[in-house]
Amino acid sequence: MALLEVEDLVVQFYTDDGVVRAVDGISYEIRAGETVGLVGESGAGKSVASLALLRLIQAPGEIVSGEIRFQGRDVRECSAEELRAIRGNEIAMVFQDAEAALDPVYTVGEQIAEAVRAHDDVTDTQARERAIDLLERVGIPNPATRYADYPHEFSGGMQQRVVIAMALSCDPALLVCDEPTTGLDVTVQAGILELLDDLARESETAIQLVTHDLGIVAELCDRVVVQYAGEIVERAPVEALYYDPKHPYTVGLLASIPRLGDDSERLTTVPGTTPSLVDPPTGCRFHPRCPYAETACARRAPPLVETDSGTPAADAGPETHLAACLEYTGDLEEGLDYDVQVRDEGGGIDPDPERRGESG
Ligand code: SF4
């Protein structure tokens, strides 16, 4: 049984400009011990989907429909007490801004010990010992001494490690990390990623990693869910997605990763911007930006289907490669011309649009 199952989840926000469907019918699952990446540009709905898991969507937003099942329990039906038990105990979250997550007037050790006491019936001494263990586990040197330091005495990377220690204080079954390394410099980022990777390997903790960075996903994740304008456009095991992306948006995202040795003068980008979710494009939401769009794309919304057979996503297993593009339902007359793609030496998609035959 999957640890987490999200089915047809819809989250809306009611704004002065109209109703924003930030998450529009997404479905995915996470099994125990696996790391799943939710990827996409800003505004794709990744963070909203993560907050919805713990019913943390606040007014003017609400979960309109869909199911969130965690260990077989329907999270949307949980009482306040049951929800409190799930939050922190079974699902823990790590946000981007570690500094904001820490209280400046308490030492980092006290804050971790407090998190331990909130969920476990332990003495102060036991909570302190556990906090020191956790500081050591997340790679803080001299943890017994650093226990008494305040957040401002830690660097940004160290603060993020402390936040991860707090999240781990109750051995959660699922750790939701929302852009955990954004804003950190690359070497610190590498340290945090290594830490998350070690945690996933050492324990049965599953990780949902929200990021816009496909490089991070390649390093850490077992499977990837690509979101665009509130919808899932591709879902696949990580290798399948990197070596054989099926959706034009994913192809564009992969092509925009800068590569060492690439001497082109301009970085490749996905042209255009994410659409307004108050009034999203008709048909395929990606059609205004898609280099392969045909007339049908503006008229028909492509369902998420198996790319091999066109079987609907609802009947597909978690390892199946799915994409939401009319190519895979047989409704695209000219078809996606992916034959022209040239792989670079590492097997990825060549970032040069000319070599990929996309010039003009
Ligand atoms: S359905 Fe059309 S517009 Fe959408 S991704 Fe496929 S080819 Fe592009």
Give residue 354's pLDDT.
52
Tokens of 166: 């707090």
Q: Does ligand 1 lie within 6 Å of residue 332's CB atom?
A: yes
Q: Say whether pLDDT at 359 is over 50.
A: no
Identify the pLDDT of residue 346: 44
pLDDT tens for 120-145 read 889 999 999 999 999 998 889 999 99
The pLDDT assigned to 258 comes to: 73
pLDDT in the model for residue 313: 87
Q: How many CA atoms lie within 13 A of 81 on its CB side?
A: 0
Give the distance (Å) from ligand 1 centre to CA of residue 258: 24
DSSP assignment string, 312-325: BGGG--TTS-EE-S
Write down the pLDDT at residue 42: 85
Three-state SS for 351? coil
The DSSP letter of residue 103 is: -
Using DSSP, state whether 186 is helix, strand or coil. Answer: helix
Choose the weakest-confidence range: 81-90, 99-108, 109-118, 265-274: 265-274
Rounded CA gap, 304 and 260, in Å? 34
What does the alpha-carbon distance between residue 219 and residue 136 come to, in Å, rounded to a whole number?
23
Atom of ligand 1 minimally distant from the CA of 233: 5
Reported as a single tens digit per residue, the pLDDT across 266-291 is 777 788 888 999 999 999 999 999 99
The pLDDT of residue 232 is above 80: yes
**Whole-angstrom distance, CA of residue 187 vs CA of residue 157:** 9
Q: Measured from the CA of 298, which atom of ligand 1 is nearest?
A: 3
Asked whether 290 lines ligand 1 (CB < 6 A), one says yes
Q: Which pLDDT belongs to residue 242?
A: 92
Give 180's DSSP letter: T
The mean pLDDT value for 207-223 works out to 90
pLDDT digits (tens, 9 = 90+) for 342-357: 344 444 444 444 544 4
Domain locations along the chain? 1-89+176-181+211-360, 91-171
Which CATH architecture is the domain 1-89+176-181+211-360 placed in? Answer: 3-Layer(aba) Sandwich (3.40)
Report which of 63, 56, 52, 58 is spatially closest to residue 4, judged by C-alpha positions.
52
Q: Is the CB of 161 under 6 A from ligand 1?
A: no
